[in-house]
Amino acid sequence: METSVRLYALGYDKVKTYLFAALFILGNLLLPQLCHLIPSGGLILLPIFFFTLIGAYKYGIYVGLLTAIFSPLCNYWLFGMPGEAMLPVILAKSVILAIAAAIVAKKTQKISLIALAVVVLAYQIPGVLIEWFSLHNLQPALSDFRIGFPGILTQVFGGYLVLKALSRV
């Protein structure tokens, strides 16, 4: 279940970097809105992270960081989600996700379920610690693992399918 990944190391000086980032930010705006049609859909499916994972894994750290930073900010400015108290936590998790995805993709040069599971754990574990520190409460910090487990699985398996499809183009 491994596929070689054709990485695109796009820099901040490339127009394509901003075009790809804009597409992934748009995805991170639309997917959460769809998920919020389901009661607690955002908490269950963790949609704000999906296209950050894809962008950083396929197109590198610059696309990943732009997507990671502007997706939560644009969602907050446009829709008030995530809430103001959670915005710094979501931003931190998103940035860690972008860095982890870009590093794992560069190191492995493969799309695999194991690599994507490593990426997701690499941002979720520090994310729990950041959220715990921020909220001073472990219960909500563990919600991504308790309530959001379907979202974690979607990131790994859905990310795998999307990245495999993108590897053909």
DSSP 125-147: HHHHHHHHHHHT-HHHHTHHHHT
pLDDT digits (tens, 9 = 90+) for 31-55: 999 999 999 999 999 999 999 999 9
Confidence of residue 1 (pLDDT cuts 50, 70, 90): low
The pLDDT of residue 6: 61
- Report the distance separating Cα 115 and Cα 24, nearest Å: 20
User: 84-93: long-range contacts at Cβ-Cβ below 8 A with a sequence spacing of 24 or more?
Assistant: 85/135, 88/134, 89/127, 89/130, 89/131, 89/134, 89/135, 90/48, 92/127, 92/130, 93/49, 93/123, 93/124, 93/126, 93/127, 93/130, 93/131
- As a whole-number percent, the residues of the chain with pLDDT over 90 amount to 83
Residue 160, Cα to own-chain centre: how many angstroms?
13
Determine the length of the chain: 169
- Mean pLDDT for 103-128 is 97
Quick one: which H or E segment has residue 4?
A: strand 2-4
**Is the pTM of the predicted complex or chain greater than 0.75?**
yes
pLDDT of residue 44: 94
Quick one: which of 91, 33, 24 has its CA closest to 63? Answer: 24
With CA atoms as reference, report the closest residue to 91 among 77, 70, 122. Answer: 70
